[in-house]
Amino acid sequence: QDASDRATASQPAQTTDGVHVAVYANCGSVEEAEAAASLGAEGSGLVRTEFLFLERRDAPDEEEQLRVYQRIATALAGRPVAIRTLDIGGDKPIPYLPLPREENPALGLRGLRTSLWRPDLLRAQLRAMLRVQPAEHVRVLLPMVTDLDDVRAVRSVLDEERASLGVAAAPKLGVMIETPASALLADQLVREVDFLSVGTNDLSQYALALDRGHAELAPRLDGLHPAVLRLIATASAAATAAGREIAVCGGLGSDPDAIPILLGLGIRELSVVAGAVPRVKRIVRGLSEAACRSLATEALAQTSARAVRELVQAKTLGT
Ligand code: PEP
Ligand code: MG
C-alpha cells in the first residue's frame, strides 16, 4: 500500500462526501521539513524547535535560529509553517538553562512558562521567527498554555519585537491545546488567537493524570479516552463557532482509529510525522464525513478508551 499511498500523496485529501482535510507534517529538523515537502505535506503544523537547543553549551542566538527556521520555511516552499516556541522543562535539562529542582517537572517550569521565566530567550526566538521570509507563511505557536494571561504576555513581547524590527504585519499567533484548562477555556482563547492546535500527547497525560514517560503506565495512556475526546470536542466547537482554525498535532492525528472521530468532532487539519502523511491522506479519502459525525457522537458517550476503539473497529465508515 505504501507505493500507491505515495503516488497520490501530492494530491489533497477529501472525504468521500467532499470535505477537504489538510494534512501537515510535524518537523523536528531541516531534514524532516524536506521529507515533509516530498511526501505531500501541505505545510508544517508543528516545528518542534527544541532540537536546536539540546546537546550544546549555549543557546542558539537570533541569527542561528533565523538560519534554521528559514531553511525549514524554504524547504516547505511557501506552505504554512507553525513554529513553536521552546517547549522545554525540568525533564529535559539543558546546561545553560539551570532550572530549579522540581518535585513534579511535568507540572512545573516547562513550555511557555520556561520562556516567560527567561524572556531574553523568548525575545530572541520571536525575533528570529519574525524575520523568516516570506513572512505571511510563518505562524507562531505557543506550548503549554493555560489561559489568556499566557497569550497576552507573549503578545506584548511579540508586539515590542515587531516594532523594533519594523515588521508591520503581525504573524498568526496560535496556542497548543494540551492542558485541560486550555481546552475548557478555548472559547476565551479564540477571541485573541488566530488558531488552535491540539497536542493530544500532553492533553491525554494531563487529563488522565498519567505520566506519558512512565515505563509501566504509559502504554495505558490512550487519547481515545472519552474524557480526552470531550476536551477536544469542547475546543473544536469553540474554534468553529469563532471561525478559527483548529488542528490536531499530537500522536492521535495519525492513529487510524482516531482519524474518523477527529473528523467527526470537526477537525479539518491533521499534523503528523512526515512519513505518515501519505497514509493519513489515504485514510481520509476512505471516510464519509457524515458517518464520522455520528461515530463521534457515539464515541463521546462511551465509558473507556477500549470501548471507543471497539466502536470504531466495528463500523464501516466509507460510502
Ligand atoms: C503533544 O503534546 O501532543 C505535542 C504535539 O507536543 P509534544 O509531543 O512536543 O509535547
Ligand atoms: Mg506537548
Of 270, 258, 269, 267, nearest to 295 by C-alpha is 258
pTM over 0.80: yes
- Cα(154)–Cα(174) distance, rounded to whole angstroms? 11
pLDDT in tens, 269-304: 999 999 999 999 999 999 999 999 999 999 999 999
Contact 24, 8 (CB under 8 A): no
Mark residue 18 as left, alpha or beta (left: phi above 0; alpha: psi -120 to 50; beta: remaining).
left
Identify the pLDDT of residue 219: 86
Closest ligand to Cα 223: 1
249 lines ligand 1 (CB under 6 A): yes
316 has a pLDDT exceeding 80 = no
221 lines ligand 1 (CB under 6 A): no
Residue carrying C-alpha cell 518535585: 103
Mean pLDDT value of segment 209-234:
94
Atom of ligand 1 nearest to the CA of 84: 9
Closest ligand to Cα 82: 1
| Distance in Å, CA 250 to ligand 1 centroid | 5
Mean pLDDT value of segment 51-60:
93
ipTM of the complex: 0.99
pLDDT in tens, 61-108: 999 999 999 999 999 998 999 999 999 986 677 888 888 888 898 999
pLDDT classification of 207: cutoffs 50, 70, 90:
very high
199 lines ligand 1 (CB under 6 A): yes
48 lines ligand 1 (CB under 6 A): yes
